């Protein structure tokens, strides 16, 4: 995983000769077209193939219970990945998401006395604060995103453990339990939350001023600045959104477990989220964002793990398959330089 | 002259190089001789960098060969060239800022103890000795990044030279040096010559060619268009060659052949009005030295000068793109404060189209539509959401007006030709209804048709009252397009021409004019004004 992550810090390749790009050779453009198809639609095909495989060969796969379980399990990664996609689209990265989840999880029992929604509100506010800190480091002080958020990754979980006194706290709150395990019309509430968030992010990215600026800042920051765009503000908002979404994932996770577990909640989730984003078709070099693809990327990784487990294969097989898919995703997205 | 008796130390013969079908070098030959400094000059894209990279083993020539002391060599990698005694000082310093001065100086060839470990005492001692030869007296144990660019440059020079180099290649070595440090560099080069080293000196500063170099080669569009001893070369001829002109042609065509028919003379009453955009005394250390430029409504103001003269930096400063050490920018006579920025400039009706279309202009993966409306988003939105229909109306208008050839507004900009990309960037600024446009090389690297269309567009826009600042390396563009031309050299305005006084010849003589007290103090020289605009206009 370190390879694609360090890739974000590398400068864009601008070494093309000063003149005009020559017309592309027909063979090269055909190859590019194939790669582009894989990049843009590969995750859909992969999900389809995997579902088909499971329907044919996995007993008890196509049951309501199993499908619901798969969706519920992917919720935290999906929420975090939505925020991560925004950050990655600006050619950034947010490693602090797992620690934000831990901070939020640690905060909830502290404020539960004021009512569950106050506790949730404070927990999400903490995510906003951490996101604002990350955004300030990146946008104002120009620190590389991977470094700025790496610091918070380490310090954030330490802070969470201090807040929680290093202990797991069980939570008995009916409101939180209905949030974590309830259903609405047969659909888990948490899945509905993901759907709503995806809709909001999708609309914002496609039609809002902010969304258009976001991809411009990621696609060519200098050009965005010279076009008069508020580059700093855009970056700041992106990291705040990522922090808030990570905090929400922490809330959902705590509610579902019925316990606040700052030692383990969200551990390594940043890697799963980055994987979902990249596999979903958002390149680490920024300038493009795929919201539905990100969700499917998260689901794909979940389904691979589930499939392997249900066929009694060791977990390491799932990881190798996932690794291979990540390599393919990064390969088809590599910046082919030039024009 | 005494070093030229033997054969050349390093020689390239008939070297040709293509990149993806673009011819970067076409049969270029050049000889470096012991004890002589050879200037390599040419405008952007002339092929200087490619030639340097071939001589240093970064690229292999497609055709022709490199010879070291008469024997053909095949440099597969930079270390092969280094082994052959060729040392390079790149424009962008290839040093490690976090390591000490001494470590940088001896990187990869550190003095070792008997246990094969680095011997810091010996290294620091030798570093002090080596650097003192270049007049650098610093604590060699401190990290390099803590010192001025000048010191860093000197370390780079010392490093290159101390590797037993037979050939030293310097790529624009003075671009980050103070005048005093340039003098020091000149002394170092004299030392190198005395040691019998052959030097290739890549530059675009004429003064340095005449001050430091014995031979000169001019590249243009990948070809060697001129080569001679500096002693036999005159400044005007060199400027003309660099810009692709023949002195005789310019002289024959005379002073006033342009500027009467095509361009409307600036309306006299505009003179009394407040300029729509004015820059006063813009200064930035080592880049701009008190530049003042004003643009009125309906006026096309040209900025002329060689590469690195401060043309681009002036335009960028007027747009708020770079920080300044001093000077003010005023819109409609209203001075803008220190927070002048591209965002504010655009809000006040000032637009810039950058010279570097790819790095600073287009967002390659976005559609033509998104690229055009990028700066105008707030005007095309309701409640934070962009109105698709308003965008399409704007895009449609400008695609037609500028005749941008696209398959549709959703086509990605990276797929367009250079000319069409340039038109997209013009449309991005024009859809803001600006009052001033700063155009930096708007027709460079685009096809002839698009070029003519953009030139006609500039005329038309100015006719409609837009103020234009036009930067161009093509003199005829300034002569035919501009109503007034400021000539820059070394970050300062050295002359201005207006109306009929604008001619290629006059621009070139102004560029070529030597600073009065060559190398004495470098800041007080009164610019030789070729024509006073108040008189000429």
Cβ–Cβ under 8 Å, residues B89 and B160: yes
CATH of the domain at B527: 3.40.50.300
The enclosing H or E element of B22 equals strand B22-32
Residues B341 and B438 in one domain: yes
Is A27 inside a domain boundary?
no
Structure tokens at B434: 């600006």
The 3-state DSSP composition of chain B as helix, strand, coil percent (nearest 5) reads: 35, 25, 40
- Residue B239 pLDDT: 81
Q: How confident is the model at residue A336 (pLDDT cuts 50, 70, 90)?
A: very low
Q: With a cut of 90, say whether residue A135 has pLDDT above it.
A: yes
Residues B311 and B452 in one domain: yes
- Residue B262 pLDDT: 42
Of the listed ranges A73-82, A250-259, B74-83, B129-138, the one predicted with least confidence: B129-138
Q: Which residue has the higher pLDDT, A328 or B466?
A: B466
Give chain A's contact residues with B (Cβ, < 8 Å).
14, 16-22, 207-210, 212-213, 215-216, 219-220, 222-230, 287-288, 338-339
Is B39 inside a domain boundary?
yes
Residues B69 and B195 in one domain: yes
Q: With a cut of 80, say whether residue B2 has pLDDT above it.
A: no
pLDDT in tens, A209-232: 999 999 999 999 999 999 999 999
Chain B residues whose beta carbon lies within 8 Å of the beta carbon of residue A225: 321, 342
Residues B52 and B31 in one domain: yes
Q: How confident is the model at residue B254 (pLDDT cuts 50, 70, 90)?
A: very low
Q: Which residue has the higher pLDDT, B106 or A39?
A: B106
- Alpha-carbon torsion B373, B374, B375, B381, what sign? positive
CATH of the domain at A198: 1.10.3470
Measured CA to CA, the distance from residue B504 to residue B507 in angstroms comes to 5
Measured CA to CA, the distance from residue A334 to residue A10 in angstroms comes to 12
Q: Is B291 exposed, middle or buried (0-12, 13-18, 19+ CB in 10 A)?
A: buried
| Arithmetic mean of pLDDT, A274-292 | 92
Cβ–Cβ under 8 Å, residues B354 and B319: no
Residues 6+ apart with CB under 8 A from B299: B266, B270, B462, B467, B468, B483, B484
Q: With a cut of 70, say whether residue A38 has pLDDT above it.
A: yes
- Residue B369 pLDDT: 95
Is B127 inside a domain boundary?
yes
Residues B171 and B79 in one domain: yes
Which residue in this structure is represented by tokens 């397009």? Answer: B481
Nearest to B374 among A207, A216, A230 (CB): A216
Measured CA to CA, the distance from residue B376 to residue B394 in angstroms comes to 10
Residues 6+ apart with CB under 8 A from A165: none
Q: Is B362 exposed, middle or buried (0-12, 13-18, 19+ CB in 10 A)?
A: buried
Question: From the centroid of its chain, how far is CA A36?
Answer: 22
425-464 in chain B: CB under 8 A from chain A: 428, 445-447
Q: With a cut of 90, say whether residue B12 has pLDDT above it.
A: yes
Structure tokens at A24: 């592309």
Cβ–Cβ under 8 Å, residues A273 and A81: yes
Pick the closest to residue B424 from A220, A39, A333, A25 (CA basis).
A220
Number of domains in chain A: 1
Which residue in this structure is represented by tokens 């539960």? Answer: A112
**Cα angle vertex B279, ends B277, B280, to 5°?**
140
Measured CA to CA, the distance from residue A243 to residue B86 in angstroms comes to 53
Measured CA to CA, the distance from residue A275 to residue A272 in angstroms comes to 5
- Residue A37 pLDDT: 75
**Arithmetic mean of pLDDT over chain B:** 83
Q: With a cut of 60, say whether residue B29 has pLDDT above it.
A: yes
- Domain boundary at B405, B432, B459, which? B432
Chain B residues whose beta carbon lies within 8 Å of the beta carbon of residue A18: 44-45, 445
- Residue B519 pLDDT: 40
Which residue in this structure is represented by tokens 């960098």? Answer: B49
Q: How many CA atoms lie within 13 A of B330 on its CB side?
A: 16
Is B185 inside a domain boundary?
yes
- Residue B93 pLDDT: 62
**Cα angle vertex B456, ends B450, B462, to 5°?**
135
Is A252 inside a domain boundary?
yes
Structure tokens at B397: 């208008």
Q: Is A51 exposed, middle or buried (0-12, 13-18, 19+ CB in 10 A)?
A: middle
Cβ–Cβ under 8 Å, residues B251 and B51: no
Of the listed ranges A228-237, A278-287, B463-472, B509-518, the one predicted with least confidence: B509-518
Q: How confident is the model at residue A16 (pLDDT cuts 50, 70, 90)?
A: very low
Of the listed ranges A105-109, B251-255, B287-291, the one predicted with least confidence: B251-255
| Arithmetic mean of pLDDT, B80-94 | 79
| Arithmetic mean of pLDDT, B286-301 | 91
**Cα angle vertex A197, ends A193, A202, to 5°?**
150
Strand partners, B491: none
3-state secondary structure (DSSP) of residue B494: strand
User: In B58-98, at which residue ranges do the beta strands (DSSP E only) sit?
Assistant: 63-68, 71-73, 86-89
Measured CA to CA, the distance from residue B53 to residue B500 in angstroms comes to 44
The highest-confidence range among B170-174, B206-210, B340-344, B418-422, by mean pLDDT, is B340-344
Measured CA to CA, the distance from residue B161 to residue B172 in angstroms comes to 16
Chain B residues whose beta carbon lies within 8 Å of the beta carbon of residue A338: 20
The edge-to-edge listing of strands for the beta sheet with B288-295 is B288-295, B277-284, B326-331, B334-336
Other CB atoms within a 10 A radius of the CB of residue B464 amount to 9
Q: Which residue of A has its CA nearest to B380?
A: A209
Is B242 inside a domain boundary?
no
Is B261 inside a domain boundary?
no
Strand partners, B282: B291
- Residue A193 pLDDT: 96
- Which alpha helices (H) appear in B387-536, and where do they start and end? 388-401, 418-430, 448-463, 475-481, 504-512, 533-536
Residues B10 and B133 in one domain: no
Residues 6+ apart with CB under 8 A from B511: B206, B239, B304, B305, B306, B309, B487, B489, B494
Number of residues written out for chain B: 537
Residues B187 and B334 in one domain: no
Chain B residues whose beta carbon lies within 8 Å of the beta carbon of residue A19: 22, 45, 418, 445
Cβ–Cβ under 8 Å, residues A265 and A99: no
Domain that holds residue B215: 1-85+166-233
Chain B residues whose beta carbon lies within 8 Å of the beta carbon of residue A219: 363-366
- Residue B35 pLDDT: 92
Is A339 inside a domain boundary?
no
Residues B331 and B457 in one domain: yes
Structure tokens at B521: 């103090």
Is A46 inside a domain boundary?
no
- Residue A15 pLDDT: 37
- Residue A25 pLDDT: 39
The answer to whether the CB atoms of A21 and B20 lie below 8 A apart is yes
The answer to whether the CB atoms of A288 and B24 lie below 8 A apart is no
Is A21 inside a domain boundary?
no
Measured CA to CA, the distance from residue A245 to residue A241 in angstroms comes to 6
Residues B195 and B338 in one domain: no
Domain that holds residue A92: 67-333
Measured CA to CA, the distance from residue B221 to residue B224 in angstroms comes to 9
Is B248 inside a domain boundary?
no
Residues B379 and B389 in one domain: yes
- Residue B4 pLDDT: 42
Q: How confident is the model at residue B500 (pLDDT cuts 50, 70, 90)?
A: confident
Is A270 inside a domain boundary?
yes
Chain A residues whose beta carbon lies within 8 Å of the beta carbon of residue B374: 212, 216, 223-224, 227, 229
Residues B439 and B516 in one domain: yes
Q: DSSP string covering A98-136, please?
A: HHHHHHHHHHHHHHGGG-HHHHHHHHHHHHHHHHHHHHH
The widest CA-to-CA distance across chain A, in whole angstroms, is: 68
Is B125 inside a domain boundary?
yes
Pick the closest to residue A205 from A280, A95, A299 (CA basis).
A280
Nearest to B384 among A16, A209, A222 (CB): A209
Question: What are the two backbone dihedrals, phi and then psi, of residue A82, each rounded to the nearest 5 degrees?
Answer: -60, -45
Other CB atoms within a 10 A radius of the CB of residue B533 amount to 20
Give me the percent of chain A exceeding a pLDDT of 90: 63
Which residue in this structure is represented by tokens 């770079």? Answer: B322
Of the listed ranges A40-44, A187-191, B53-57, B250-254, the one predicted with least confidence: B250-254
Q: Which residue has the higher pLDDT, B456 or A250?
A: A250
Number of residues written out for chain A: 339
Strand partners, B153: none
Q: With a cut of 60, say whether residue B521 has pLDDT above it.
A: no
Residues B6 and B152 in one domain: no
Q: Output DSSP code: residue A289.
A: -
Question: From the centroid of its chain, how far is CA B431?
Answer: 29
| Arithmetic mean of pLDDT, B147-151 | 74
Which residue in this structure is represented by tokens 């035919």? Answer: B480
- Residue A27 pLDDT: 46
Measured CA to CA, the distance from residue B199 to residue B157 in angstroms comes to 12
- Domain boundary at B121, B137, B164, which? B164
Is B356 inside a domain boundary?
no
The answer to whether the CB atoms of B375 and A222 lie below 8 A apart is no
Number of domains in chain B: 4
Cβ–Cβ under 8 Å, residues B498 and B508: no
Work out the minimum CA distance from A15 to partner chain B, whole angstroms: 10
Predicted-assembly ipTM surpassing the 0.85 threshold = no
Question: What are the two backbone dihedrals, phi and then psi, of residue B441, each rounded to the nearest 5 degrees?
Answer: 50, 60
**Arithmetic mean of pLDDT over chain A:** 87
Question: What are the two backbone dihedrals, phi and then psi, of residue A40, each rounded to the nearest 5 degrees?
Answer: -80, -30
Which residue in this structure is represented by tokens 């591209």? Answer: B342
- Domain boundary at B110, B138, B164, which? B164
Q: Which residue has the higher pLDDT, B283 or B161?
A: B283
Is A240 inside a domain boundary?
yes
Q: With a cut of 70, say whether residue B250 has pLDDT above it.
A: no
């Amino acid at each position: 995983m370190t390879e694609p992550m360090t890739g974000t810090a590398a400068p864009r390749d601008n070494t093309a000769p000063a003149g005009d790009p020559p017309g592309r050779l027909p063979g090269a453009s055909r190859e590019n077209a194939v790669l582009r198809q894989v990049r843009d639609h590969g995750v859909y095909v992969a999900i389809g193939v995997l579902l088909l495989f499971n329907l044919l060969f996995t007993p008890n796969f196509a049951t309501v219970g199993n499908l619901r379980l798969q969706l519920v399990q992917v919720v935290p990664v999906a929420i975090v990945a939505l925020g991560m996609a925004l950050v990655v689209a600006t050619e950034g990265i947010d490693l602090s998401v797992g620690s934000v989840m831990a901070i939020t999880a640690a905060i909830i029992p502290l404020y539960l006395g004021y009512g569950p929604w106050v506790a949730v509100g404070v927990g999400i506010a903490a995510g906003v604060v951490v996101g604002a800190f990350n955004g300030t480091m990146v946008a104002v002080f120009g620190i590389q995103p991977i470094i700025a958020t790496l610091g918070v990754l380490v310090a954030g979980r330490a802070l969470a453990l201090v807040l929680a006194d290093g202990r797991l706290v069980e939570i008995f709150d009916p409101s939180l339990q209905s949030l974590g395990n309830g259903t609405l019309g047969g659909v888990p509430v948490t899945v509905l939350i993901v759907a709503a968030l995806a809709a909001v992010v999708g609309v914002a990215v496609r039609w809002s001023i902010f969304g258009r600026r976001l991809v411009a800042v990621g696609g060519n920051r200098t050009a965005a600045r010279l076009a008069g765009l508020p580059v700093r503000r855009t970056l700041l908002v992106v990291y705040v959104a990522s922090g808030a979404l990570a905090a929400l994932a922490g809330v959902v996770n705590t509610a579902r477990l019925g316990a606040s577990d700052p030692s383990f909640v969200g551990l390594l989730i940043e890697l799963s989220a980055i994987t979902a984003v990249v596999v979903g078709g958002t390149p680490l070099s920024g300038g493009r964002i795929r919201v539905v693809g990100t969700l499917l990327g998260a689901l794909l990784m979940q389904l691979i793990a589930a499939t392997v487990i249900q066929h009694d294969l060791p977990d390491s097989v799932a990881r190798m398959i996932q690794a291979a898919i990540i390599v393919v995703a990064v390969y088809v997205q590599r910046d082919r330089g030039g024009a | 002259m005494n070093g030229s008796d033997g054969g050349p130390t390093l020689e390239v013969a008939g070297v040709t190089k293509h990149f993806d079908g673009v011819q970067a070098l076409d049969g270029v030959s050049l000889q470096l001789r012991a004890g002589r400094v050879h200037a390599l000059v040419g405008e952007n894209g002339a092929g200087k960098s490619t030639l340097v990279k071939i001589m240093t083993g970064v690229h292999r020539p497609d055709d022709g060969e490199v010879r070291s002391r008469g024997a053909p060599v095949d440099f597969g990698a930079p270390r092969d060239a280094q082994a052959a005694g060729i040392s390079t000082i790149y424009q962008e310093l290839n040093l490690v800022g976090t390591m000490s001065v001494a470590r940088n100086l001896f990187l990869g060839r550190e003095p070792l103890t008997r246990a094969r470990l680095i011997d810091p005492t010996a290294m620091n001692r030798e570093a002090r000795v080596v650097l003192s030869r270049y007049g650098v007296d610093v604590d060699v144990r401190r990290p390099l990044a803590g010192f001025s660019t000048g010191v860093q440059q000197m370390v780079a020079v010392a490093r290159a030279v101390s590797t037993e180099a037979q050939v030293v290649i310097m790529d624009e070595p003075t671009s980050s040096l103070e005048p005093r440090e340039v003098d020091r560099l000149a002394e170092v080069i004299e030392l190198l010559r005395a040691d019998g080293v052959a030097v290739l000196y890549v530059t675009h500063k004429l003064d340095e060619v005449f001050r430091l170099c014995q031979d000169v080669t001019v590249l243009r569009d990948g070809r060697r268009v001129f080569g001679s001893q500096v002693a036999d070369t005159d400044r005007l001829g060199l400027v003309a060659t660099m810009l692709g002109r023949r002195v005789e042609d310019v002289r024959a065509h005379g002073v006033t052949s342009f500027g009467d028919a095509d361009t409307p003379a600036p309306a006299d009453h505009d003179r009394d009005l407040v300029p729509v955009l004015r820059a006063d005394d813009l200064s930035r250390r080592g880049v701009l030295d008190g530049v003042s430029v004003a643009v009125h409504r309906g006026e096309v103001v040209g900025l002329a000068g060689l590469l690195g003269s401060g043309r681009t930096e002036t335009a960028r400063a007027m747009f708020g793109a770079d920080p300044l050490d001093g000077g003010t920018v005023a819109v409609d006579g209203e001075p803008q404060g220190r927070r002048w920025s591209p965002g504010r400039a655009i809000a006040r009706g000032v637009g810039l189209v950058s010279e570097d279309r790819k790095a600073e202009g287009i967002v390659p993966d976005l559609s033509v539509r998104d690229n055009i409306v990028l700066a105008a988003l707030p005007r095309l939105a309701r409640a934070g959401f962009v109105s698709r229909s308003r965008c399409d109306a704007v895009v449609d208008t400008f695609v037609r007006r500028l005749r941008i050839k696209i398959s549709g507004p959703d086509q990605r900009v990276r797929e367009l030709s250079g000319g069409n990309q340039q038109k997209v960037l013009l449309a991005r600024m024009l859809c803001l209804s600006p009052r001033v446009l700063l155009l930096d090389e708007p027709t460079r690297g685009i096809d002839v048709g698009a070029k003519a269309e953009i030139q006609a567009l500039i005329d038309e826009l100015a006719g409609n009252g837009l103020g234009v600042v036009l930067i161009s390396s093509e003199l005829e563009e300034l002569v035919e397009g501009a109503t007034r031309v400021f000539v820059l050299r070394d970050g300062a305005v050295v002359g201005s021409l207006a109306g009929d006084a604008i001619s290629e010849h006059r621009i070139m003589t102004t560029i070529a004019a030597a600073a009065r007290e060559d190398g004495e103090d470098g800041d007080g020289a009164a610019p030789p004004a070729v024509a006073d605009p108040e008189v000429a206009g």
